[in-house]
Structure 1
Amino acid sequence: MNPFVSASWLHGRDGVAVVDVRDAWEYDSIGHVPGAVNVPFDRFRSDEGEAGKLPPRKDWEALLSESGVATDAEIVAYDDTQGVFAARFVVTALLLGHDPKKVHLLDGDFSSWQRDHETTTETVDPTPTEYESDPDAETPLVDFETVQGLLPAAEAGDVTLVDTREDWEFAEGHLPGAVQLDWREVVDEETRGLKPEDELRDLLEGRGIVPEKRTVLYCNTARRVSHTYLVLRELGYERVELYEGSLTEWRERGGELASE
């Protein structure tokens, strides 16, 4: 699995379904990658759906079908916010069964393309497909009960619970035993892409987030956690899971919180 691809990797590559998840006005007026279809973030977000904030499967299939994305397509998604919204699109595709080898995030967001390659304001009129997700695909999701059962192991240091929110959010309340890693810490502010691999590994190991341990990620509504999940997979972490309900569900169900 190689979740992140560069603008140079994408440039000139045929047969890739490029998805721009920015708002429609940005896509239309600022410009976009030639051939990219516009699928704004709100269109694949659901307050009530499968596993918390995922859209219902039938809605996801309809959305990709009308966007011209084939079931076996190689997909690259991007935004202009360092990848956090596009990461949610990528992870949604993964969780609903798209081939993990064929769905990617553009490293460095739209700006990485804009710096070196041509953009356009021409709207793409995609040819509809009949996209089919895979309901039997294995996913890295864990539920409330699973996370609740992992708390003793997390507090003992045997499992790593990672809170991907900001410092102040973590201080106000987090899962017992969790470590904090703001998702933005892995991003280079200048390039808007990932920091060098050695810096990332040092950062993660310094927080106790190591490949050998089972790692469970959460935030508030599973957007920020999506980016961190892709980063860990890019670095070869195999034992990474997502608590999709995150703290929104945790609080609603009366889960225990720690604060500091």
Structure 2
Amino acid sequence: MSETDDLVVSASWVAERLNDPDVRVVDVRDAWEYDGIGHVPGAVNVPFDSFRTSDGESGMMPPRENWIDLLAAAGVTPETHLVAYDDTHGVFAARFLVTALYHGHPIERLHLLDGDFSSWTRDHETASASVSVERAEYDPEPPGETPFVGADAVAAASESDAVVVDTRRPEEYAEGHIPGAVNLDWKDLVDEDTRGVKHPDELEVVLGEKGIVPGERVVLYCNTARRISHTFVVLRWLGFAGVQFYEGSLTEWRELGREVVS
């Protein structure tokens, strides 16, 4: 079993671990949704806007001290297995997980609920009462190296045999993109019926059509951090080891005077 086999997990996998003290289920929806609509039993609420910022250390990443305080308040330790979900096919939850990875939480302890809250409610009970947890000590070791790269690395990748992937919508891609980039709309990886990630066999076809195959180095970019985060999580779950992540946006790329083609 690789370190990312459980990066995307089923509702049954989560249900079996709801009482496991080493597992913390995190609901990243707005507080009114968490309180008013209900949530996965035992889940704590860490709204997306609480860790979204434009004043972070890299792109939209929150400063480390803010992130540490947020997760400590949620009762998380560096040994905790984090299971994140939202109600939007997992795209906001994926951003939570990528943020955790950026700040040093081990990838083998990060999990995306396959599907979302609506999918969960089809076969599992929900709760309405807020969950109270004790504050924990949270200060993970900063990673020695990360998949996050800057504009220079992206430019070099576009001139090499790496696959540069634009995860925006096709119409956005058509208006302008990094030279040599292929377009992969993140929702092409989502099964509309299950609201989760498509079966690996289907993903192999979707990705293969774009030249995205195991063994290739892949560099992702977007204009929206959550969309690229979802694609990153799916690729890592599938076993793509060489996936890099440009935290800047195409807007920033243009501002740096970099070439854009259409």
Which of residues 132, 142, 145 in structure 2 aligns to 1:138? Answer: 145
**1:7 is matched with which residue?**
11
**1:174 is matched with which residue?**
177
Cα distance in 1 for residues equivalent to 2:251 and 2:101: 22
- 2:250 maps to a residue whose letter is L
Look up the SS of the partner of 1:115 in the other structure. Answer: coil
Cα distance in 2 for residues equivalent to 1:112 and 1:70: 28
Cα distance in 2 for residues equivalent to 1:255 and 1:83: 32
Deviation at 1:251, TM superposition (A): 2.1
Which of residues 188, 212, 221 in structure 2 aligns to 1:218? Answer: 221
Cα distance in 2 for residues equivalent to 1:182 and 1:127: 40
1:147-166 equivalences under 5 Å are 147-153=154-160, 158-166=161-169
- 1:85 maps to a residue whose letter is F
- 1:65 maps to a residue whose letter is A
- Superposed CA offset, 1:164-200 (max 9, x none): 1101100111110000000000100011011111110
Look up the SS of the partner of 1:19 in the other structure. Answer: strand
For the Cα contact (< 8 Å) 2:35–2:129, is it kept in 1? yes
Deviation at 1:82, TM superposition (A): 0.2
Look up the SS of the partner of 2:218 in the other structure. Answer: strand
Matched, 1:109 2:116: yes
Matched, 1:209 2:212: yes
For the Cα contact (< 8 Å) 1:229–1:242, is it kept in 2? yes
Moved more, 64-73 or 84-93: 64-73
Look up the SS of the partner of 1:17 in the other structure. Answer: strand
Cα distance in 2 for residues equivalent to 1:62 and 1:48: 16
Deviation at 1:146, TM superposition (A): 1.1
Cα distance in 1 for residues equivalent to 2:237 and 2:65: 29
Which of residues 216, 240, 248 in structure 1 aligns to 2:251? Answer: 248
Q: Which runs of 5+ in 1 are unaligned?
A: none
For the Cα contact (< 8 Å) 1:53–1:221, is it kept in 2? no
Matched, 1:35 2:42: yes
Which of residues 14, 26, 41 in structure 2 aligns to 1:19? Answer: 26
- 2:211 maps to a residue whose letter is G
Look up the SS of the partner of 1:223 in the other structure. Answer: helix
Distance 1:21 1:236, change over 3 A: same
Q: How many residues are treated as equivalent by the alignment?
A: 255
Which of residues 219, 232, 238 in structure 2 aligns to 1:229? Answer: 232
Look up the SS of the partner of 1:77 in the other structure. Answer: strand
- 1:241 maps to a residue whose letter is Q
**1:126 is matched with which residue?**
133
For the Cα contact (< 8 Å) 1:57–1:133, is it kept in 2? no
- 1:57 maps to a residue whose letter is R
Cα distance in 2 for residues equivalent to 1:68 and 1:192: 28
Matched, 1:51 2:58: yes
- 2:143 maps to a residue whose letter is D
Cα distance in 2 for residues equivalent to 1:12 and 1:190: 23
Instruction: Tell me the percent identity.
Output: 60
Q: Which runs of 5+ in 2 are unaligned?
A: none
Deviation at 1:237, TM superposition (A): 0.8
TM (norm. structure 1) is 0.95
**2:93 is matched with which residue?**
86
Deviation at 1:51, TM superposition (A): 1.6
Deviation at 1:133, TM superposition (A): 2.6
- Superposed CA offset, 1:127-179 (max 9, x none): 111211322342111111111222222xxxx1100001101100111110000
Runs of 4+ in 1 over 3 A off after TM superposition: none
